[in-house]
């Protein structure tokens, strides 16, 4: 069996090929198997992952770091890494395991990967094992959320509802199916405030609750997302209102060609200019009235002068103190 392809994927070339072969050997194949290397590799893996998390997440406390590490080194995580390496094609299994599909079994693949870490440690030292493990785990850490990694669905649902100040969900077993030794539990999860009801099933009550909680979390997130979107559509933002006000002012300015003092200073300015406008109107009316009166008086004077020209002159009035006329003197 050619192990060069596997060494290229791991990024480490073994000096001692026997260590690599032992790491890939299951106990069903021969007496020289990988269980001791698995024990060593498990310790190396925990140390390297702990160091990686310590460096990467400087603000996370010890409890959350322990949760993250436990989730990253568990069987399922190791199995997924082994699948990416296509480790199953390099396993050395006994005939019984080969017939039963042992090369696909998650436990065998996870244990073999840990044995490989132990073999690399013995072959190249701690730094060599650290480099291989970091290269495999950094892409995983780039895609996970440290706040939720390793938390079960019920915990995530509870924390999400508490963050939104919504009452905690209610779980009820609504039915059981199957024989007593192989029952399946159907559990409902209720979030009354959002009118959400979902059902989950599992081989135990706890498994059914976890399945229902996962569905409920998705339903809650979708419901809140829709309500937030509807609120944004019906209620304009303050910035939009400000822009609308600016557009109105600009349209008024462009319509007249210039801004009046009232438009520049707002309503208060507009109110102060109103009395001035009324006074100006009264002043104009008063001036017009005086002009009309003057015109009437001038017309009457002209009429009187014309009448006086047409009528004869009145006789001279007698005055005792006046001197006699020549005719009167002659008569006397």
Give tens-digit pLDDT for 54-96.
999 999 999 889 999 999 999 999 999 999 999 999 999 998 8
Annotated catalytic, 252? no
- Whether the full predicted model's pTM is greater than 0.75, yes or no, is no
Of 38, 42, 188, 209, the active-site residue reads 42
Domain 153-234 has CATH 3.30.160.20: yes
Q: How far, in Å, CA of 242 to CA of 305, rounded? A: 73
Number of Cβ within a 10 Å radius of residue 301: 10
Query: How many whole angstroms separate alpha carbon 19 and alpha carbon 14?
Result: 8
Q: Does domain 4-141 have CATH number 1.10.1520.10?
A: yes
Highest-confidence range of 42-46, 138-142, 225-229, by mean pLDDT? 42-46
Where do the CATH 3.30.160.20 domains begin and end in the chain? 153-234
Per-residue pLDDT, 274: 43
Choosing from 114, 123, 188, 209, which is the catalytic residue? 114
Closest CA to 1 of 34, 26, 19, 24: 24
CATH 1.10.1520.10 in the chain, residues? 4-141
Of 8-22, 162-176, 196-210, 248-262, give the lowest mean pLDDT range: 248-262
**pLDDT > 90: percent of the chain:** 53
Q: Which pLDDT score, from 0 to 100, does residue 20 have?
A: 95
Tokens 């072969």 belong to 21
The vertex-255 CA angle with 253 and 257, nearest 5°, equals: 65
Task: Band the pLDDT of 144: cuts 50, 70, 90.
Answer: confident
Q: Is 42 a catalytic residue?
A: yes
Cβ neighbours of residue 328 closer than 8 Å, sequence gap 6 or more? none
**If you average pLDDT over residues 39-47, what whole number do you get?**
97
């Amino acid at each position: 069996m050619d192990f060069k392809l596997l060494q290229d994927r791991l990024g480490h070339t073994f000096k001692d090929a026997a260590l690599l072969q032992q790491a890939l050997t299951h106990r069903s194949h021969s007496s020289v198997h990988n269980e001791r290397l698995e024990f060593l590799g498990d310790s190396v893996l925990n140390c390297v992952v702990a160091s990686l998390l310590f460096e990467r997440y400087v603000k996370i406390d010890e409890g959350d770091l322990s949760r993250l590490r436990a989730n990253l080194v568990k069987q399922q995580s190791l199995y997924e890494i082994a699948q990416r390496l296509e480790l199953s094609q390099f396993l050395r299994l006994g005939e019984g395991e080969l017939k039963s599909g042992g090369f696909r079994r998650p436990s065998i693949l996870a244990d073999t990967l840990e044995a490989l870490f132990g073999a690399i440690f013995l072959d190249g030292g701690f730094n060599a094992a650290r480099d291989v493990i970091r290269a495999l785990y950094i892409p995983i850490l780039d895609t996970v959320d440290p706040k939720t990694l390793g938390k079960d669905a019920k915990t995530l649902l509870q924390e999400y509802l508490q963050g939104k100040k919504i009452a905690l969900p209610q779980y009820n077993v609504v039915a059981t199916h199957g024989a007593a030794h192989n029952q399946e539990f159907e559990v409902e999860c209720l979030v009354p405030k959002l009118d959400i009801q979902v059902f989950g099933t599992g081989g135990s009550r706890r498994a059914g609750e976890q399945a229902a909680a996962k569905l409920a979390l998705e339903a809650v997130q979708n419901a809140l997302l829709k309500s937030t979107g509807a609120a944004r559509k019906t209620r304009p933002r303050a910035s939009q209102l400000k822009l609308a006000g600016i557009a109105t002012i600009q349209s008024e300015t462009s319509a007249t060609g210039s801004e009046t003092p009232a438009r520049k200073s707002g309503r208060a300015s507009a109110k102060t200019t109103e009395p001035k406008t009324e006074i100006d109107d009264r002043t104009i009316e008063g001036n017009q009235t005086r002009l009309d009166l003057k015109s009437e008086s001038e017309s009457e004077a002209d009429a009187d002068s014309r009448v006086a020209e047409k009528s004869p002159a009145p006789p001279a009035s007698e005055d005792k103190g006046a001197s006699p006329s020549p005719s009167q003197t002659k008569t006397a």
